[in-house]
Amino acid sequence: MSKKWAEYLPDSRKSDVKKVCEAESTSNHLVLCIHGPAGIGKSTLARYLSDKFRLAGRLAGSVFLGAFSTQMSGPETIVKMIAREIGSIHPRAIPKIVEAMDQCHSTSLENHVQRYILEPLRSLGHPQPLIIIIDAMDEWQDHPTFIEALAPLNSESHVVKFIITDRLNPCASRLPCIEKVTIYTHALGPISKEAIKSYFERYLATVPWVDGRKASPTDIEKLTELSGGLPVWASIVIALLSYRFSESPPHEILAEIVGSRRQVVGPDGLGELYSQALNRLFPSSDAQSPQTRKYFRRYIGTTLVLQEALSLPDFSTLAGIPPHLTSNIQFTLSALQTRSPPPGSEKMIHPATLLFHLSFLDYVQSTTAENSFAISIFDSHSSLGLTCLQQIGSLPPSSLRHSLVALRAIERYAVKYWLYHVSNGTPRSNNQWSKTEHCPTLQTISARTQQQWATLFCKSLMPSQDAPRLENGREEGSMVSTLRKLAHWLGESGGDQWAFQVACLEVAVRIDDGDAQVWSELGWCYRSRGDRMGAPRMYEEAVVAFRRALKLQPDSHPDHVTSLGDFAATLWLCYLQNGNHNTLSEAILCSRTALTLAPIPHPNHYWYLILLANSLSESYVRSGDLSTLNKAISLHREALALCPSAPHPDYSIQLNNLANALKHLHESNGNVNALNESISLHRAALALRLPPHPDYSISLGNLANALRNLHECSGNIDALNEAISLHRTALALRPPPHQYRSWSLDNLAYALQSLHKCNREIDVLNEAISLHYEALALRPAPSPSRSMSLTNLAGALLSLHKHNGDIDPLNKVISLHHEALILLPAPHTGRSRALDNLADALLYQFEQNGAVEVLDEAVSHRRELLALRPPGHRCRTRGVTSLVALLIKRYEVTGDDRDSGEIEDLKAELAAGSEDSDSG
């Protein structure tokens, strides 16, 4: 943070530090997330905690992601950076880190985390878990991938723990896969007025006041109040007052600031301060104002996309700003810097993220910012990409020796980054690309220079590796061929070079958007990234690329079927991320077509079978259409028949897929034969997944649930007892903090509730309730599974009420259903069931106390439920019948004629529906 605010003000975060340390010492959670809005002081606290744990011998390492540009840094790079920190602080861990360097080439991110972080720390044998602190996690685009990769470390919290800072609560923001990681969150609020006041009293004394005018006690009180407890606001105020070359004396600037009537609340309050500051630093009264502000936008925009520091002359050349204006703008903006440049590089122009607070960078990119200051990242990439291209076109012949040393710094920057800037600053469509300045500029670069650049590009990324063999570059379209070869080389290198790889292919499709193979390669590049990151945006980009490739390959094209299958599979993966029904429908259509065009013995027939079967199974879950399920079952059978037999890993997967589909069939139409076959298949899958198979506990749960279904339809008590035994085994395999423990708790509780219905033993029911309570505790708000846990617990407590007539469990049931309903706002698909459950529970309560208002609420919920089930809905009739029953009961109590009229209307609807059914 700022030089003036970098120090931790004594006791300003005393209570926060105490809570964080208590949570770290008493909790088994792997991750502690400190979250709060921009400017609240998260980085200052992170630095303080880093020093505190270092002095205590508990720090494994600390990484401040806001201190460098992460745009080009993939998750593997950050993992290695953490390992570097571990080795620096704990030299005894270095041998294990060296082993990781040898063993992690081209392996998964989870393996990187295991080898580079866990094993080195475990080798230390420290009696307490060591702490890794990662600040500004959300400023890193790959942070969801990293968080997910930590899940295998849940059970290792006695070895390592993580403290991260984030602007948002990762649980509340529904970060993908956040449920897989055991995480404790702490909301960081504003610091106390006393601390802010102390800061102002201390630093206002350092301001170069003139004419004896300085801040009064009233001014200090007003500044303290206006700050809203945000340290960054206070820091910027002092910086503005201390800026020695402003036209206005400090007391006038102070008067303008304290004249504001609005307390800082979130980014809007900071935006107001930034607006005031920029208008003072670049005043509109200046005769050169339009020109000065234009260059300000160009300066800040270029530094926002800049990837490495450049000298002032080189930056001026690339940004297109006269050097003297670059120097003036750099000096002027120093008033708003909250970070100091690295030592010894004061005469360099640095990426904006290294010097300015994130809230300021958000402000200048905001559409709500004044037009005179707002900038476009796309336009900034475009401008910088063009000037970099121009540098490539003028590479000196001397560098034909392919030596980076022979190049000037500006040329080395252009060699490495022009692809990245051009791909992020030009339209993808060839029609639009051809209208940009980049297109003719690239066309003027000779084939020889293109090849020269490609060799230098390889050396700039991986100096120790041999560059790929490139053609002489003389044939037509050679640049596209070169870019494809470079992308392939980067993908095979095992390095963390995805950003450069995708940039190669993005520029290639701009040059030749009629090349289906290039589009397909771009699709695979995004898809592989999506597989590693689990990021919906990657799959969506892959869908766009594969769609374009398919369009370029008509039915007669030899690669049409392959492209169709790739497209269908990517649509399916995209659906799994976004849940969009249209995406699923398109995946079904494409996979069905691919299957038709690829009959046996086509090598991909088997995979298209599985894809279509899985897609149809998912469609059934959403629609309840039995014909869709039957088709899915047929396809699953065909896939199983074609699947390589055991012990091939696919065989147990296909057994499980068919078993689950047959279980759905039983649940849909009561087909006992389908259920028996499902049980048989689950047993076969379980036999192939014996310990230490990672899916052993999953197969245990699947078989147990099918056996419980068998008990419910046939009363087979042996099946239920076996189900309970299997669920207990699965639960034992999932000790805290296992990511699936809550599911095993729920499953066992359900089975015990079924047993209670048979034997009426209160101890069995009490155990089920206890298990549901434990599952609920593992799903704190805003976990998406919390509403389900609330409903499960409510069902068990309702059984307790029915067993002993105690009113307290019933009151708790209603409270739980109310909370579940709040968590399921319309149009959530689970809201209708929540309304149904709550209405039923209220009816039980009415029967206990006879309160009409309870009955009124039940009627209200039934009406909303019916509105969610319009005519034609498969559950409409049951909803109408339930509402009629409630209205009749209320009419009997109140005699209200309005209920009588509504009852007759609903009965008429039921009668009409019955006639339609008979005629059908």
State whether 54 and 139 are in the same domain.
yes
State whether 33 and 155 are in the same domain.
yes
Q: pLDDT band at 264, cuts 50/70/90?
A: low
Tens digits of residue pLDDT in 723-764: 999 999 999 999 876 778 999 999 999 999 999 999 999 999
Q: Note down the domain range covering 902.
A: 818-919
State whether 257 and 365 are in the same domain.
no
pLDDT at residue 317 above 60?
yes
Distances in Å between the Cα of 869 and the Cα atoms of 73, 173, 865, 875, 920 are 49, 30, 7, 7, 21
Nearest-angstrom CA–CA distance, 708 and 612: 29
Peptide bond preceding 737: is omega within 30 degrees of 0, i.e. cis?
yes
Q: Using CA atoms in the order 213, 215, 218, 220, what is the torsion angle rounded to 10 degrees?
A: 180
pLDDT value of residue 659: 96
How high does pLDDT run on average in the chain?
87
Q: Among the three residues 230, 265, 300, which one is the final residue of a domain in this structure?
A: 265
Secondary structure (3-state) at 31: strand
**Residue 688: inside a domain:** no
For 630-641, what is the mean pLDDT?
A: 95
CATH label of the domain that carries residue 42: 3.40.50.300
% of residues, the chain, pLDDT over 70: 92
Amino acid code (one letter) for 557: H
For 697-726, what is the mean pLDDT?
A: 96
**Residue 138: inside a domain:** yes
Q: pLDDT band at 920, cuts 50/70/90?
A: very low
State whether 208 and 225 are in the same domain.
yes
Secondary structure (3-state) at 222: helix
Residue 259 structure tokens: 């004249």
Tens digits of residue pLDDT in 98-111: 999 988 876 778 88
Q: Among the three residues 375, 401, 436, which one is the final residue of a domain in this structure?
A: 375
Nearest-angstrom CA–CA distance, 833 and 791: 9
Please give the helix or strand (H or E) that residue 223 lies within, else none: helix 217-227
Nearest-angstrom CA–CA distance, 213 and 363: 32
pLDDT at residue 267 above 60?
no
pLDDT at residue 66 above 80?
no
State whether 197 and 183 are in the same domain.
no
Secondary structure (3-state) at 353: helix
Tens digits of residue pLDDT in 673-702: 999 999 999 999 999 999 989 899 999 999
How many other CB atoms sit within 10 Å of the CB of residue 737?
18
State whether 308 and 257 are in the same domain.
no
pLDDT at residue 314 above 60?
yes
pLDDT at residue 912 above 60?
yes
Residues 6+ apart with CB under 8 A from 601: none
pLDDT value of residue 5: 39
CATH label of the domain that carries residue 309: 1.10.10
Beta-bridge mates of residue 161: 131
Task: Please say whether the beta carbons of 478 and 501 come within 8 A.
Answer: no
Distances in Å between the Cα of 441 and the Cα atoms of 66, 304, 742 are 35, 24, 59
Residue 19 structure tokens: 């809570």
Nearest-angstrom CA–CA distance, 735 and 751: 19
pLDDT at residue 1 above 50?
no
Q: Using CA atoms in the order 428, 430, 433, 435, what is the torsion angle rounded to 10 degrees?
A: -150
State whether 112 and 257 are in the same domain.
no
- For the sheet containing 130-135, what is the strand order? 59-64, 130-135, 160-166, 31-35, 183-187
Residue 242 structure tokens: 């201390």
**Residue 134: inside a domain:** yes
User: Which parts of 534-580 fold into alpha helices (H)?
Assistant: 536-551, 560-578
The closest of 769, 772, 774, 768 to 755, measured between CA atoms, is 768
State whether 298 and 171 are in the same domain.
no
pLDDT at residue 838 above 90?
yes
**Residue 3: inside a domain:** no
Task: Please say whether the beta carbons of 240 and 278 come within 8 A.
Answer: no
For 211-229, what is the mean pLDDT?
A: 88
State whether 243 and 166 are in the same domain.
no
Nearest-angstrom CA–CA distance, 533 and 148: 8
**Residue 673: inside a domain:** no
Give the residue carrying structure tokens 């004249």.
259
Residue 37 structure tokens: 């809005």
Tally of domains in the chain: 4
Strands 348-349 and 310-311: antiparallel
How many other CB atoms sit within 10 Å of the CB of residue 820?
25
State whether 143 and 219 are in the same domain.
no
Residue 734 structure tokens: 């999932």
Residue 754 structure tokens: 């079924």
Residue 537 structure tokens: 């945006």
pLDDT at residue 2 above 80?
no
pLDDT value of residue 8: 67
List the single range of 17-31, 364-378, 733-747 with lowest mean pLDDT: 364-378
**Residue 473: inside a domain:** no
710 versus 372: the higher-pLDDT residue is 710
Tens digits of residue pLDDT in 100-154: 998 887 677 888 899 999 999 999 999 999 999 999 888 777 787 788 888 888 8
Nearest-angstrom CA–CA distance, 313 and 786: 58
Rg (the chain; Cα; Å):
32
Tens digits of residue pLDDT in 408-464: 999 999 999 999 999 999 999 888 999 999 999 999 999 889 988 999 999 999 888
Task: Please say whether the beta carbons of 567 and 593 come within 8 A.
Answer: no
Strands 59-64 and 183-187: unpaired
State whether 58 and 180 are in the same domain.
yes
Secondary structure (3-state) at 135: strand
pLDDT at residue 916 above 70?
no
Q: Among the three residues 375, 392, 411, which one is the final residue of a domain in this structure?
A: 375
State whether 216 and 175 are in the same domain.
no
The closest of 116, 46, 43 to 75, measured between CA atoms, is 116
Strands 160-166 and 130-135: parallel
**Residue 300: inside a domain:** yes
pLDDT value of residue 38: 80
Secondary structure (3-state) at 62: strand
**Residue 25: inside a domain:** yes
Nearest-angstrom CA–CA distance, 545 and 548: 5
Please give the helix or strand (H or E) that residue 854 lies within, else none: helix 852-867
